[in-house]
Amino acid sequence: MADQPLALVTGASRGIGAATARALAPTHRLLLGGRDEDALAALAGELPDARPWPVDLTDPAAVRAATAEIGELDVLVHSAGLAELGTVEESDAGVWRRNFEVNVVAVVELSRMLLPALRAASGHVVLLNSGQGLAARAGWGAYAASKFALRAFADVLRAEEEANGVRVTSVFPGRTDTEMQQAVVASEGGDYAPDKYLRPDSVAATVLAAVSASPDAHLTELTIRPRPAR
């Protein structure tokens, strides 16, 4: 429906991003961000008013061209991310640069280019962070540092844009059952047990709660953790 609000979800080809797109679909028109065009097309085919938005977020020229067509944007969900782990000894400068390029720089640049559209709609920015953005642990240095930086960016964006009607929410999920989590557990040498982790749709429901808050409410930070199995 043309009168429904417009949401852009990055990382929508799988995991939390795809779950978030499904959660928003009943009430929003959707732009599905990502690089896997086949996966985006398949997801768009499931949803009532969605279209792929295949953009390499680390390419500023591509982002500039793709955002030029967006005049008003009600919701921007940053779900795309990279988790390249290792100890400080193992992680060279390239590991740190790649984590920051995807998890911070790309997020900042997309948000910056979409600020006029977000202001025009009194929009809402949701940043999928991580428990590692609250407390870092051994072996997660570059990733955790990028998530701490993402939290700082969210705080600054909120302070600068709240007067313009833009709300900014950081969501800090615990470990979630995704392909990224499978790769992380493999790198840790552990056995993967999906029931130990949050479901992507549980995280998506938290995003929806933030976006659906009444106009007088600004949910700034939300933390969600898996419940222990009984």
- Strand 75-78's sheet: what is its strand order? 50-54, 29-34, 6-9, 75-78, 124-128, 167-173, 221-224
Based on the residue annotation, tell me whether 143 is a catalytic residue of this protein.
yes
Can you tell me the distance from the alpha carbon of 16 to that of 18, in angstroms, rounded to the nearest whole number?
Answer: 6
Helix (H) or strand (E) holding 61: helix 60-67
DSSP conformational letter for 225: -
Contact present, 34 and 54 (Cβ < 8 Å): yes
Task: Indicate the pairing of strand 221-224 with strand 167-173.
Answer: parallel
Selection from 132, 225, 140 nearest residue 174 by Cα: 225
Selection from 46, 131, 114 nearest residue 78 by Cα: 114
Can you tell me the distance from the alpha carbon of 63 to that of 6, in angstroms, rounded to the nearest whole number?
Answer: 18
Catalytic member of 96, 140, 143, 197: 143
User: What is the set of active-site residues?
Assistant: 143
